[in-house]
Structure 1
């Protein structure tokens, strides 16, 4: 609760909570806190400000329901379009020009399908905690599979992709969702990295947590943009200036999945130097850390 966090000396802005048990009459509150210190600089208390944001939160719920409904209705016919286009592309009797035109249709239909899936994921995350179907999973093997799948695109972009991971790391995870996290981070790193650079992916165990790192030598992120990086639909000024494609949903979805696993995601970055994303996931009682090599 905000009062407990403030009593521990934490300062924050716009922490949103719902007050009341009845869904029809409960109110949404935005809470901000600042520490109060005595003349010696010791923590003496906290000041909290509460603002009623019920109307805003209700409007957000309506918007999210609309986005989810429209996205769902769009995905069904678009999936059919993609399927029939791919069937046509398998016809060896097609003229070369027709094949090229169908490939353009397929590429753009796939792009729309990914965008719709991202919108659905965003609406689901906004609606509440993301449900995870956790099963025993080898995180190291999952990471190798994702890296191997990304190598052809990296090779075509002229970017080197390296991986350092233990032979195995058993954890309880939603495999499909964690694959989505890794794919998003790899796509993000490639998108913002120029040809001739390197992206390094690593997996290790630190302080009872699995730490997955994706480090690139790309354009980097300014300090002003880092605070908003995981906000949905946010795109950095440099990305817009360079006309890099994207709508700013991947990192927001990634954070939601990581937090639903009880983990956290952080980023270190410097303009013109590159960015390093770190995903930390709790090992859990069923996880087994890898034996030291050698």
Structure 2
């Protein structure tokens, strides 16, 4: 009973049984009363027919004819005069007709009436039918109907309701079993699948049947398995890459520091090795700082503090800071911005985004290449482009450009000096602003990064 499927099916079963019970409690007395009323109406109609016959032809022959017609063990008929005195009556019922008229005060009825309606406690239903002939003779015709037939009718009705209840219960039991199996099997498969996922086995196969909640849950587990597999693969690759990235500068540091300590080196040689050690230290420091930045971005509590930024002076300030490094390399940095253009963003993080993109363009675009920053309105968004006219990239490389530790040319990573984490940080920061970033590139024509905030 601890299984959810069993609980759901049990709730369904109990609910249907309660509804069915309430329905039967309402229908049983209603149907029973309708059948009893039909018996009342039938008896009144029969008595009315006999009364009309007496009114048309009141004679001994007519009385005998009526008595003969009602000569059944469960029926009885008698005729009384206006003084409640018996004229004639059937004998098969065992009723004392002599005292019947006064006891029931038959002369007090002016129309066809059910005198006794109780069928549960009394042996007969009694109806009175007052008549008056054209010759001025009057009296009351009394009809008796045994309640045995009604009681048998109600017993039959009770039996039918009992059969209906048992049949419904059996049908519900079958539905309960099928429903339990229908719910249990997919849930058990999902349980096994999630247990495999928890153990690192992402090769799960669930039949996604239908568009109901179970189908959606199965699809979600499939997606979770794919995402976890991708995450595991990415994590493994990342750890492998970061191990390599850390090992390389550490190897240089260890090797060159040992060489620099040799007493037979000249001052220029020592200066060269110390320069290499400094470069590798700076590279290692940059890598560690970027790793810390990514770890901070991965923290669910990380938030950006947005404020209104005037983009023209903001970009101009970046241009003044970064232009010298571009000019020193023999390249050029330019910008255009719509006047009075503002954006809601975290100024520190927006600066980090643009500096990373511009630094990436400066390092990879090459000497004599122009890099241009453009900001303008695009619908309800602000569009910021960083475009260079460098060597560009192949389309196959664009899919992984924002992956951590990805480099276009791994063999040139040391000469370019990047950590391979800058664009991953940029993407995380843009998405933290609820924005989007995309990249377009063509070999020989350059690369364009487009940010929408």
* TM-score for both structures, normalised by structure 2: 0.40
**Higher helix proportion (structure 1 or 2):** 2
From 310, 315, 331, the equivalent of 1:159 is 331
5+ residue gaps, structure 1, are 1-18, 20-25, 32-46, 67-96, 282-294
The answer as to 2:316 corresponding to 1:148 is: no
- Helix, strand or coil: the match of 1:149? helix
> Which residue of 1 is the match for residue 444 of structure 2?
272
Cα deviation, 1:117-157, whole Å, max 9, x if unaligned, reads: 21012122334474112233223322211121111110011
> Which residue of 1 is the match for residue 46 of structure 2?
none
Cα deviation, 1:31-77, whole Å, max 9, x if unaligned, reads: 9xxxxxxxxxxxxxxx95806549769979999xx9xxxxxxxxxxx
Q: Which has the larger radius of gyration?
A: 2
Distance 2:345 2:228 in 1: 37
Distance 1:270 1:61 in 2: 27
- Helix, strand or coil: the match of 2:439? strand
* TM-score for both structures, normalised by structure 1: 0.60
From 213, 220, 223, the equivalent of 2:395 is 223
- Compared with structure 1, are the counterparts of its residues 98 and 149 closer, same or farther at alpha carbon in structure 2 (3 Å cutoff)? farther
> Which residue of 1 is the match for residue 360 of structure 2?
188
- Helix, strand or coil: the match of 1:116? helix
- Compared with structure 1, are the counterparts of its residues 144 and 231 closer, same or farther at alpha carbon in structure 2 (3 Å cutoff)? same
Distance 2:350 2:365 in 1: 23
Please report how far the alpha carbon of residue 207 of structure 1 lies from its aligned counterpart in structure 2 after TM superposition: 0.9
Distance 1:234 1:160 in 2: 26
Distance 2:441 2:435 in 1: 20
Check the 8 A contact 1:30/1:51 in 2, yes or no: no
- Helix, strand or coil: the match of 1:146? helix
From 410, 414, 424, the equivalent of 1:240 is 410
Check the 8 A contact 2:286/2:419 in 1, yes or no: no
* Alignment length (residue pairs): 215
5+ residue gaps, structure 2, are 1-189, 191-196, 205-217, 240-268
- Compared with structure 1, are the counterparts of its residues 265 and 61 closer, same or farther at alpha carbon in structure 2 (3 Å cutoff)? closer
> Which residue of 2 is the match for residue 257 of structure 1?
429
Distance 1:116 1:203 in 2: 32
Matching of residues 168-183 of structure 1 within 5 Å: 168-183=340-355
Check the 8 A contact 1:185/1:214 in 2, yes or no: yes
Aligned-residue CA RMSD (Å): 4.1
